[in-house]
Amino acid sequence: MTRHPAMYILFLVIIIVAIFAINYIVIHYFPSAPGTAATALTTVPPGTNNTGTGAGTGNASASNSTTTVLAPVLGSCIQRTPSIPLYNGNFSSGTYDGWNVSGNGFGATPFNISYANARGYYYAAPWGNYSGNFVATTYRVGTLVSPGNITSRQFQVTEPYLNFKLISPQDNYLYVEILENGKPFMRNHYNTFAAPGNLNPQTNFINVSISVAPLMCQNATVRIVAGVVSTHTTKYEYIAAGDFYLSNTPHNTPGILVNTTII
């Protein structure tokens, strides 16, 4: 039996319609597919107050609201590498090249901890648990510190975690901020003095991880903020940070995060 040409045209139309229908179902009903994003509700824990010698005098801001955070989209930007250092992320150049410095708090150049250790420029014990020689800090060799902040060069988030080293007492005016396209996105307060077994909190760097997965494949910057004007009774109110890199694995010390605020 000879089939009419119109039947072949009808079969072709049915196949095309089926392809479009399958594509529509994948896009709209399977949000984990590439090119789409799922959402998840995340509760931001409230902060607590912790005052005392070397533990900060401010009350860290807290949030107990529930916020919607976009889950990461698996796209072509993901590199799946163990470590991607930020540009001059450990200040190995001995300068703030790649960072924008505001105020006097962090000085004109990074702090040379090898030089400081050789000359006893520290409280109680030498600086330790740091992989380089230079660090950004408001510590001023026993003199009173000033406020200021430093902001990294913009980078693309290609891994879900930003890892770094930190020394910070709990204080409302000492924190690490993640910016999305130049606008504040997340603010984290820490108390590294509370790290388990930290016998020299003023000079021992603690491992910190921030989940930047919500910004996957987008542009971000990291900012270290110190709004503290110290006095002789609050001489430990300084912050020190460095060794910034993106990673597919967190390297975080438990118990040091005071609170996270999604801005």
The H or E element containing residue 209 is strand 206-211
Residue predicted with more confidence, 188 or 46: 188
- Residue 72: per-residue pLDDT: 43
Kindly tell me the burial class for residue 2, based on how many C-beta atoms sit within 10 Å of its own C-beta (0-12, 13-18, 19 or more). exposed
> Which tens digits make up the pLDDT trace of 34-53?
333 333 333 334 333 333 33
Statement: residue 242 has pLDDT above 50: yes
Statement: residue 99 has pLDDT above 70: yes
Statement: residue 65 has pLDDT above 50: no
- Residue 86: per-residue pLDDT: 96
- Residue 5: per-residue pLDDT: 62
Confidence of residue 146 (pLDDT cuts 50, 70, 90): confident
Residue predicted with more confidence, 141 or 1: 141
Confidence of residue 206 (pLDDT cuts 50, 70, 90): very high
Confidence of residue 143 (pLDDT cuts 50, 70, 90): confident
- Residue 20: per-residue pLDDT: 52
Question: What is the number of H-type helices and E-type strands within the chain?
Answer: 2, 15
pTM, 2 dp: 0.73
Average pLDDT over residues 80-97: 93
39 closest CA partner among 30, 31, 47, 29: 31
- Residue 236: per-residue pLDDT: 78
- Measured CA to CA, the distance from residue 107 to residue 48 in angstroms comes to 31
Average pLDDT over residues 166-192: 96
Statement: residue 130 has pLDDT above 90: yes
Task: Give the range with max mean pLDDT: 44-48, 113-117, 139-143.
Answer: 113-117
- Residue 54: per-residue pLDDT: 41
- Residue 42: per-residue pLDDT: 33
Statement: residue 153 has pLDDT above 90: yes
Strand, helix or coil for residue 243: strand
92: Cβ contacts below 8 Å, ≥ 6 apart: 132, 133, 134
- Residue 61: per-residue pLDDT: 38
